[in-house]
Structure 1
């Protein structure tokens, strides 16, 4: 598919090579076998057998055409040469166009459609649920980089915002696909006023090969700017009848609903995840780097007490310099941050909490030297009988007491007895319940109430 991002008259002619040459050399592929959409055009070709062609014109905005090539040869080669003949006519002068191959990328979990003019995702179709997660009326796309500048800083100090400008990147181009054993990466590069140099913004979409998991990685060479500025990343999700929720320190809340009355709701601090869900499915978004999110829209300057989200959209807020007390006047240099999302047919809070915690807390490992080649391997699981809906928040050894001090939380809204055991007779454990300071609670038991946090010494 060719998408034209030029205001000029642009003519492109494609000709099929229907000769025996393609049969003789299996590396060459007919670049134009049939039309999907576009205007048929008769053109006197310098190649006698090449008589079929397509035409696309654009005087402003953008236009496109789409076609199929012949099937790629099944010869176990990593590359093939696709041949077509193109003619470009532009009356004002320079004209640019993009060529996009296979605009829909898919694996066993998702079909993803990219907008190559913006470097964003315009479609995220969940094969398991049959749901399209991107809102149909969205105008920017998933992953859109939005750069905001203010006409003056005093308006924020006056609790309003009426003099501002928001811009998408000026120029975007597709840089390539990097296949991998764990994921395939699709990389776009863009120019933005927020960057030091042209092409100073890189957006990489990583599609997992084994799990329903997508990572979006941003790399920005940030320009030093002391005038008020901010950056947002768009996540225009939609789910009819769906709900928004995110976790805070110790539990989950719905923005604008479960908050303390009068508390800040233009933006919120997300602990490990934010999700949209109904009774049958959910989409979970987590970031280990960027905690600030705005729910329902870009709410900067709204300043409306107890306001509720206007939609299921969410906008991450990686950086700004709007506040002048206890903050730097600028941000500059190399910045990199990542978002991770997944979908699930299990719409429970427990599934979201596990995903958020697993994404935020790295898997810990330690190399322990052996005591000699004749020493038997000593390995075992410390605990058994650990309820699946009890999450370990933190744990540390207390050397002076010879015990482990742990913080746990029930995440499924169910009562449960928390009485872990060991899997081996060689070791035994004794567990007592404590307060947050480690003081033993003699009258307490191991029963956890729904969503309760508790502390134990083992």
Structure 2
């Protein structure tokens, strides 16, 4: 389509180039395609006439200077050479041919929005004001352009529900009314995700809550929300599909950063729309990454132009883009940018001038629905985890990341208690605010743009204080929600405690009673007066064993002076270097303090790979990226911390690089088939940029990471990772564009063959490497070729506990006490249900509280099929119902009934919005790795 000319001069006019353009227009009743001629005139103004075969002559005035002249040729249905000549009067300046291709009848949708960075370039409070003002401006622009031709009216896409939430909470009644009306008439478009979230670190209910506020705002506006946007963030956990399906989201506009630490996500996925199939094989969402992600407009200060249109169509052709519907994001000029109404005049003028390509300003939903309506049968499918890249930065604030994980788990337990105790007056505002803070911590903007180059600057410190407060506030609110449920009811007489099981299966285990609740003594009896095995721990807590606390119920125990009777058959042993009960044995290396032996009674296998590593729970500290520089903890000092009869524990104290102090604890409980590990690190701060503002130094220097090694010995073992509402196998269950240098995990991983395996639970650290230490990419990384492309089968797992590898946004250093807890459970053949319930028991343990009222003697809810579990049990926010989230961890479809201890009303299949979709019936079907939300009306 492009022909470079040697240049012919007449009256100081030079024809520089001629090329066909991918534009069609009507001239009269005929369709013509455009030709671009570039001329230089060094002399006086003159009239030039352009003749093209089949087209009327075109005469234009050419003044001094450079000119782009648009000529026309009849529309062609196939590639051809068109003859043309350029004349001044009777004198021919040039004659030749230009290559013409058929013009694609392309419709390009434009999605205006502002990228929400909650912080980064400025403090979070300023961003809040900006985004509320942007919404007001967007409403104004939509109203001003309401009379524009179809497709040219301004539509303000709210990238997330965050700005709408702020607006509805802070603006006056008139402004709120304008917002609702703007959404209702299409001038403002809702997108269902709350903020641009690092989905890989979300727990199951947090991921569901990520879309909950969107359903509320949609209901307020009387407009369903079936689309979501995410910007900047590359990679998303597989459970996102499940969460979207529960919220009614069908369309997902994904627009990552276009250069930094994004792996090969754009190489693999840009302008390659596909249906992303959820873990259950049934849920799906249409996903599409547009050209240059969300930031296309950032590099176009001149706005949309004819030149851009030509280049964009050429780019689609280069990619062999096979569809005639496309879309771009338009996020203004910078992050948190103001709305840009100039696109409306561009589209109005363009669509008046040209018939193709055609531009339409729209919502995400409108664009994606148009595409799906036309191409649904041609859209490819991908099933698997789209493993995230930017979650690695959460390891730069490991303490707060662990705190937020614990909060998410505590919220689930607190909500369940309100239902179990059948309490009225559920504090829905507290619940909303707590989840909002949990989500804001998981939002991708961690800190200032100068967080690494100027880590001690006011800008960096102020933004980190606010970011940290999200985790701190969520923690406080979750504890309030829990205590408010526990404190209701008259205090029971005597020194008694209630132990609550907030799960849908019976649970046994050791309960730790704080010193202040157990000051009466060490003798524990159950309701029948039977004396239970108990032990006063070195921490001052009283430990006792409870057995088979029923689902969603409690049991009461009394504490009095005395101690438990001696165990006639002690099955618990501890020495300086080993722990043993009737289920497992644990051996600890006397020099390193690492676990060098893990065996299960009756199973002929050593679960520790000692051939090429230092054992399990090995401290691997790396400054920089050279694996040869890995440092280990020093010589271990091992002492017996707990000696039974219920709990035994070893304490391991070592020097450790990067730490002022490093203490490990290995704990084993009588009759338990697992060993609990607690690593407590007094972290020293990393080296900071010696010359604040020195980017080259900050990009590559002062970098550190802590990896904790867990090399398992399971012959031919397959590795599985739990993710929110799903299970994935590295490599096998990763779609193109996924990160493989590190992966995110929920509560557990498992390495198993057909006969045996080991489940590994992580309570605090969500990042893992598989097969080796592969998270060694420091600072800015724009080359897609440097990223790991394949994961071989492996039984080696590494917890990537903390790091400061980024050059911006995330923290440059962290210090103070940080705790990492892991649990190892050797087992027989792998069972997804067993792994899931075991891990949930660890992250949401039995709750002990001062006894009050009558307790919950009967299970508030039981499931008729124990292959299905309850992920969440909570009051509806309207106070009229109980909401039950069912999950099937297995691969096979299951059905279950809900068995309540008291009268309930109608039962319906529901969704994240807590609405009524369909009657549930006596048996509720739950697909393998599927989720079903149920609404149960109060009687």
TM-score > 0.5 by shorter chain: yes
Question: Residue 428 and residue 281 in structure 1: after superposition, are their counterparts in 2 closer, same or farther (change >3 A)?
Answer: same
Match of 1:128 among 576, 583, 602: 602
Tell me, in whole angstroms, the C-alpha distance in 1 between the residues paired with 2:858 and 2:587: 46
Across the two proteins, how many residue pairs are aligned to each other? Answer: 340
Q: Give the equivalent residue in structure 2 for 1:201.
A: 662
**2:685 is aligned with 1:211:** no
Tell me, in whole angstroms, the C-alpha distance in 2 between the residues paired with 1:377 and 1:219: 36
Q: Give the equivalent residue in structure 2 for 1:61.
A: none
Q: Give the equivalent residue in structure 1 for 2:589.
A: 115
Structure 1 residue 402: Cα displacement:
1.5
Structure 1 residue 377: Cα displacement:
8.1
Q: Give the equivalent residue in structure 2 for 1:435.
A: 911
Partner SS state of residue 918, structure 2:
coil
Question: Residue 184 and residue 420 in structure 1: after superposition, are their counterparts in 2 closer, same or farther (change >3 A)?
Answer: same
Tell me, in whole angstroms, the C-alpha distance in 2 between the residues paired with 1:132 and 1:335: 31
**2:793 is aligned with 1:315:** no
Deviations 1:274-309 (CA, angstroms, capped at 9, x unpaired) = 001122222111121111111111112375444114
Tell me, in whole angstroms, the C-alpha distance in 1 between the residues paired with 2:826 and 2:613: 23
Structure 1 residue 401: Cα displacement:
4.6
Question: Residue 229 and residue 102 in structure 1: after superposition, are their counterparts in 2 closer, same or farther (change >3 A)?
Answer: closer
Question: Residue 350 and residue 165 in structure 1: after superposition, are their counterparts in 2 closer, same or farther (change >3 A)?
Answer: same
Match of 2:746 among 271, 290, 299: 271
Question: Residue 432 and residue 367 in structure 1: after superposition, are their counterparts in 2 closer, same or farther (change >3 A)?
Answer: farther
Contact (CA 8 Å) 2:888, 2:926: kept in 1 or not? Answer: yes
Q: Give the equivalent residue in structure 2 for 1:356.
A: 839
Deviations 1:168-225 (CA, angstroms, capped at 9, x unpaired) = 12332223342134321111111122112xxx11111112222111011111111111
Partner SS state of residue 842, structure 2:
helix
Structure 1 residue 353: Cα displacement:
1.0
Q: Give the equivalent residue in structure 2 for 1:145.
A: 619
Structure 1 residue 438: Cα displacement:
1.8
**2:898 is aligned with 1:396:** no
Q: Give the equivalent residue in structure 2 for 1:168.
A: 632
Tell me, in whole angstroms, the C-alpha distance in 2 between the residues paired with 1:301 and 1:414: 39
Tell me, in whole angstroms, the C-alpha distance in 2 between the residues paired with 1:247 and 1:230: 23
Q: Give the equivalent residue in structure 1 for 2:895.
A: 417
Match of 1:224 among 685, 693, 714: 685
Tell me, in whole angstroms, the C-alpha distance in 1 between the residues paired with 2:857 and 2:641: 42
Moved more, 139-148 or 101-110: 101-110
Question: Residue 343 and residue 142 in structure 1: after superposition, are their counterparts in 2 closer, same or farther (change >3 A)?
Answer: same
Q: Give the equivalent residue in structure 1 for 2:814.
A: 331
Partner SS state of residue 834, structure 2:
helix
Contact (CA 8 Å) 1:236, 1:313: kept in 2 or not? Answer: yes
Question: Residue 301 and residue 229 in structure 1: after superposition, are their counterparts in 2 closer, same or farther (change >3 A)?
Answer: closer
Deviations 1:130-179 (CA, angstroms, capped at 9, x unpaired) = 211011413311111111101xxxxxxxxxx4476101123322233421
For structure 2, list consecutive stretches of 5 or more residues without a partner in the other structure: 1-565, 567-573, 688-701, 778-785
Structure 1 residue 239: Cα displacement:
0.8
Matches within 5 A, 1:291-302: 291-301=766-776
Deviations 1:340-360 (CA, angstroms, capped at 9, x unpaired) = 121222421111111111112
Partner SS state of residue 350, structure 1:
helix
Contact (CA 8 Å) 2:607, 2:826: kept in 1 or not? Answer: no
Moved more, 214-223 or 341-350: 341-350
Tell me, in whole angstroms, the C-alpha distance in 1 between the residues paired with 2:617 and 2:900: 46
Contact (CA 8 Å) 2:752, 2:829: kept in 1 or not? Answer: no
**2:723 is aligned with 1:248:** yes
Contact (CA 8 Å) 1:256, 1:306: kept in 2 or not? Answer: no
Tell me, in whole angstroms, the C-alpha distance in 2 between the residues paired with 1:297 and 1:263: 18
Question: Residue 435 and residue 185 in structure 1: after superposition, are their counterparts in 2 closer, same or farther (change >3 A)?
Answer: same
Question: Residue 326 and residue 182 in structure 1: after superposition, are their counterparts in 2 closer, same or farther (change >3 A)?
Answer: farther
Q: Give the equivalent residue in structure 2 for 1:386.
A: 864
Question: Residue 117 and residue 383 in structure 1: after superposition, are their counterparts in 2 closer, same or farther (change >3 A)?
Answer: same
Question: Residue 110 and residue 181 in structure 1: after superposition, are their counterparts in 2 closer, same or farther (change >3 A)?
Answer: same
Question: Residue 364 and residue 455 in structure 1: after superposition, are their counterparts in 2 closer, same or farther (change >3 A)?
Answer: farther
Tell me, in whole angstroms, the C-alpha distance in 2 between the residues paired with 1:381 and 1:345: 30
Contact (CA 8 Å) 1:263, 1:305: kept in 2 or not? Answer: no
CA-atom RMSD, angstroms?
Answer: 2.5
Moved more, 121-130 or 244-253: 121-130
Contact (CA 8 Å) 1:138, 1:236: kept in 2 or not? Answer: no
Tell me, in whole angstroms, the C-alpha distance in 2 between the residues paired with 1:258 and 1:297: 19
Tell me, in whole angstroms, the C-alpha distance in 1 between the residues paired with 2:770 and 2:898: 39
Question: Residue 103 and residue 384 in structure 1: after superposition, are their counterparts in 2 closer, same or farther (change >3 A)?
Answer: closer
Tell me, in whole angstroms, the C-alpha distance in 2 between the residues paired with 1:186 and 1:216: 10
Higher percent of residues as helix: 2
Contact (CA 8 Å) 1:297, 1:311: kept in 2 or not? Answer: no
Matches within 5 A, 1:92-111: 103-111=577-585
Structure 1 residue 433: Cα displacement:
0.3
Tell me, in whole angstroms, the C-alpha distance in 1 between the residues paired with 2:897 and 2:755: 32
Tell me, in whole angstroms, the C-alpha distance in 1 between the residues paired with 2:676 and 2:873: 28
Tell me, in whole angstroms, the C-alpha distance in 2 between the residues paired with 1:285 and 1:195: 25
Tell me, in whole angstroms, the C-alpha distance in 2 between the residues paired with 1:368 and 1:206: 28
Tell me, in whole angstroms, the C-alpha distance in 2 between the residues paired with 1:228 and 1:441: 52
Tell me, in whole angstroms, the C-alpha distance in 1 between the residues paired with 2:627 and 2:647: 43
Tell me, in whole angstroms, the C-alpha distance in 1 between the residues paired with 2:588 and 2:684: 27
Tell me, in whole angstroms, the C-alpha distance in 1 between the residues paired with 2:671 and 2:746: 26
Contact (CA 8 Å) 1:135, 1:236: kept in 2 or not? Answer: yes
Deviations 1:98-136 (CA, angstroms, capped at 9, x unpaired) = xx9775543212232221111111111222322110114
Contact (CA 8 Å) 1:185, 1:207: kept in 2 or not? Answer: yes
Structure 1 residue 436: Cα displacement:
2.2
Q: Give the equivalent residue in structure 2 for 1:183.
A: 647
Structure 1 residue 317: Cα displacement:
1.1
Partner SS state of residue 384, structure 1:
strand
Structure 1 residue 367: Cα displacement:
5.4
Partner SS state of residue 629, structure 2:
strand
Question: Residue 341 and residue 353 in structure 1: after superposition, are their counterparts in 2 closer, same or farther (change >3 A)?
Answer: same
Structure 1 residue 448: Cα displacement:
1.5
Structure 1 residue 250: Cα displacement:
1.3
Q: Give the equivalent residue in structure 2 for 1:154.
A: none
Asked which structure has the greater RCO (Cα within 8 Å, sep 6+), the reply is 2
